[in-house]
Amino acid sequence: MKKIAVVAFGGNALLRGNEIGTIEQQEKHTLDACAKIIGLIRKGYELVITHGNGPQVGNILLRNEAGYNQFKIPKMPLDICVADSQGGIGYMIDRQMRNALNMADIKKNVVAIITEVLVDIHDSAFSNPTKPIGPYYLKEEADLLAKANNWVFKEDPRKRGWRKVVASPKPVDVMNYQVVKDLVEKGHIVIAAGGGGIPVYLHEDSKYLEAIEAVIDKDLASALLARLINADRFYIITDVPKVFINFNKPNQKALDHLTVAEAEKYFEQGEFPAGSMGPKILATIDFVKNGGKEAIITSEEEIEKENSGTIITL
């Protein structure tokens, strides 16, 4: 049996928050990220790469608005925007992964898959939208858009304006996960579940598959995919080398290892906020509790090093 590692790139790993997001900037960061995980291949792992899309899909939504306002180009719904980001980012990772393989003199195929993720239409998240997407608006603009489109807006905590919010339901199933499993077991590098996947649901009466406006957490979707394909390791790449408690305080402490019980305890104590480390911790807990051997949270720079990051096990 081959060893399989799922590596989840954050959207900000490919596009930095202080950059305008030119293709040159994104391609450079993508190549750097791909080159860093070549070491996993040398250690005998077959790879599945997942990725975020927060900055990129935000730009797509801005283009949506600009195209409609200036040229009356019909707006595309959120599921199409997520699919657009999966295709664009998937292609970018595909090409730069091939470049990294060529530089390392490793021969492997790479393939990107547009991935739909099944959600439960009765998920309580749909009654309480919390995930901000798209541009910031003045309150007056937000009120008009909310009335015209039946959208929900919430004020940004840092008072930068009002943003549309959508539901963030729990992923139930990853469509075509068996295809991903078959490909990776044959030695191909697979890019899947971009941006948490495109949220879809099944009508109970007709089994008709339909998209729904929502954003699935990328790390939870990646953990589910890792479980479904029986991955041995699940990596979450973020902007810190390890998980910390008392983060950004004088007594902050880096953690080399966490058991699931310890991770759950720290989470309940509020050590891992919802807007930063919280979803990553929940994703690793989900993976390990449901059969995964170990999950690792670390930075792109540290992934090549032995015993890097924070390891989460039973």
Looking at residue 247, its pLDDT comes to 93
Nearest to 86 by CA among 59, 133, 51, 129: 51
Roughly what angle, to the nearest 10 degrees, separates helices 260-268 and 278-289? Answer: 150
Give mean pLDDT in consecutive 10-residue pieces for the chain, a chain of 314 residues.
91 78 93 95 96 90 90 95 96 98 98 98 95 89 92 90 94 97 98 98 93 96 98 94 95 97 97 90 97 95 87 97
Between CA 50 and CA 208 the distance in angstroms is 27
The neighbouring-strand residues paired with 235 are 7, 296
Contact (Cβ atoms closer than 8 angstroms) between residue 54 and residue 18:
no
Q: What pLDDT, on the 0 to 100 scale, is given for residue 71?
A: 96
**Per-residue tokens: 176:** 């075509």
pTM of the model: 0.94
Tokens of 216: 């699935």
87 touches 105 (CB < 8 A): no
Query: What pLDDT, on a 0 to 100 scale, did the predictor assign at position 13?
Result: 77
Strand order in the sheet with 131-137: 131-137, 162-166, 152-155
Cα–Cα distance list, 126 to 85, 122, 146 (Å): 23, 7, 16
Active site amino acids: 11-12, 131, 218, 280
Question: What pLDDT shows up at residue 101?
Answer: 98
Residue 44: per-residue pLDDT: 95
Cα 109 from Cα 106, distance rounded (Å): 10
CA distance readout (Å), 36 to 24, 29, 30, 104? 19, 11, 10, 11
Cα 42 from Cα 31, distance rounded (Å)? 17
Instruction: Please report the domains of the chain, with CATH numbers, ordered by start residue.
Output: 1-35+45-120+172-238 (3.40.1160.10), 129-166 (no CATH), 241-314 (no CATH)
Q: Is 246 within 8 Å of 240 (Cβ atoms)?
A: no
